[in-house]
Amino acid sequence: MTTPPESADSTTAESTSPSGTGATSKGLDAEVARRRTFAVISHPDAGKSTLTEALALHARMISEAGAIHGKAGRRSTVSDWMEMEKARGISVSSTALQFNYEDSVINLVDTPGHSDFSEDTYRVLTAVDAAVMLIDAAKGLEPQTLKLFQVCRHRGIPVITVINKWDRPGRAPLELLDEIQERIGLTPTPLFLPVGIAGDFRGLLRRGEEGRAQEYIRFTRTAGGATIAPEELLDVDAALAREGDEWVTAAEESELLSATGQDHDQELFLAGHTSPVIYASAMLNFGVKEILETLVELAPPPHSRTDIDDHEREVTDPFSAVVFKVQAGMDTAHRDRLAFMRIVSGVFERGMVVTHAQTGKPFTTKYAQTVFGRERSTVDSAYPGDVVGLVNATALAPGHTLYTDKKVEFPPIPSFAPEFFSILRAESASKYKQFRKAVDQLDSEGVVQVLRNDIRGDASPVLAAVGPMQFEVVAARMKAEFNVEARMEPLGYGLARRTDAESAVELGRQRGVEVFTRSDGVLLALVSDKWRLQYIQKEMPELTLEPLVAAAD
């Protein structure tokens, strides 16, 4: 992993230090206004991790980029720290990066790229105020991107669109915009248009009022895209003289978009009706500065959140936060685990005693850190929008609330309906203690859902997952972190339904059905297939068999 330059530590410390002793309303408002908290959503291999690193490079948090699919000897991206991620070139866990850009504090929450980990991505989207939707210039909108966009729409998260890989052959720029509008009903409003077709990326035309070309941002390649690409700003006349027909085409397309109403409107963007669009190449670092500038200028700062009683928790209210992610194994030397919390309101100060809403017990925050890949630094203060990692917070789980002063509790994060089921067994009986510890930890992190019943016992719990790759992560982490060899035995069920204690007795007598208790106390009936489910519902309609949240919801 690329280590941040020495100046990065001071920058991070500055971003998380209080603006003064105590938290005046004016000072808190100013800190909130500086924050931008967002996630990148995309289909696998659209370049999400590469973009994450390119953004960190432009923010001067690292001195050299290393793309996953780069040349031999180049390092994995800073946000991908698991060996499985480095080997496969995909993200299978979510991480949080914080850095300063100009006068703003950026909280970038990286998400898993593979659809098997959509539950983890959903948790991340509960913690952000905006999203960057990354689209491959050659492939356009893909299934996973569509699913995640629907989550953003459901949660009212405004979306900035980045059409990536413009340095490679791809589709026409207006064709991609038409697809966005037709398939998801989001009106794209480009802030920039590419000069040069896909595969011949020369620079960007900055659009002004009524679609008029404002200036030309010309890029120069660097060796392997490892450093920031130099930019040259040219006026319209100089751009025409340099690029000729390519410039004329981009300028005409800009005016055409304006004629059809595809100019940026901030109110429509925040309402989720439109999406600013930027064309870029994360691999070459082309257009990355423009993405950061757009986030700072247009993405919303942190705002109020609704609690379970339907009351608004304002950012200026006393401290409160939501845990959206628990992750262990990031520090192999200490084998600790981090609970990532998003600050919702008030000022967080390290060492403060808060209340854990789910238990009502006090919770001490002595060990609080910001995270940059695997690199960590102690955080003394944080503000709404910031993501803080609490070390060894074993009582915390995704969806939990922390607060001070008057009680507040935010809605829990729903678990997705699993579709894959396996029995987990330890290869060696002598490792049973480590086996139990590993299962409990991975369960508390939400890596998989763990199901148990009296017949199977604790020695062979059933794992339930949205996608089969989750099982691979379990096996890999059990071996790497607990030195436990485990095997998976597929279980012949195809779907799960929520049930109750009264119905569980009768369901347990049915062929092709088995009832389990999930670690959160929910009773789940696993059914062999949809036909068996339909039969039971028809013959015994009085039994409770409720659908769970689907991954596409």
Which residues have C-beta within 8 Å of that of residue 362, sequence separation ≥ 6?
A: 353, 354, 355, 356
110 is in an annotated binding site: yes
What is the rounded (10 degree) CA torsion for 488, 489, 495, 497?
-80
Using CA atoms, how far apart are residues 429 and 420, in angstroms rounded to an integer?
26
Supply φ then ψ for residue 200, to 5 degrees: -135, 65
Contacts 24+ apart (CB under 8 A), 255-261: 255/210, 255/211, 255/212, 256/174, 256/211, 257/174, 257/177, 257/189, 257/190, 257/193, 257/207, 257/211, 258/207, 258/210, 258/211, 258/212, 259/211, 261/187
Length of the chain, in residues = 553
140 is in an annotated binding site: no
As given in the structure block, the two tokens for residue 320 are 């409160």
User: Cα 533 from chain centroid?
Assistant: 34
Q: CA angle 493-519-477, nearest 5°?
A: 80
114 is in an annotated binding site: yes
**Residue 548 · residue 417 · CB < 8 Å:** yes
Using CA atoms, how far apart are residues 180 and 482, in angstroms rounded to an integer?
45
Question: Quick count: other Cβ atoms within 10 Å of Cβ 335?
Answer: 13
As given in the structure block, the two tokens for residue 418 are 């699993």
Name the residue among 503, 495, 500 with its Cα closest to residue 542. Answer: 503
Using CA atoms, how far apart are residues 339 and 324, in angstroms rounded to an integer?
8
310 is in an annotated binding site: no
Helix spans in 75-220 (H):
83-88, 118-125, 143-155, 173-184
542 CB-contact burial (10 Å; exposed 0-12 / middle 13-18 / buried 19+): exposed
Supply φ then ψ for residue 520, to 5 degrees: -90, 5
Residue 515's alpha-carbon distances to 428, 444, 503, in angstroms, are 27, 21, 10
As given in the structure block, the two tokens for residue 526 are 């696993």
95 is in an annotated binding site: no
Supply φ then ψ for residue 148, to 5 degrees: -70, -35
Beta pairing partners, 287 = none
Q: What H or E segment, with its residue span, contains residue 534?
A: helix 530-539
Using CA atoms, how far apart are residues 22 and 28, in angstroms rounded to an integer?
10
Binding-site positions: 110-114
Residues that constitute the known binding site for GTP: 110-114
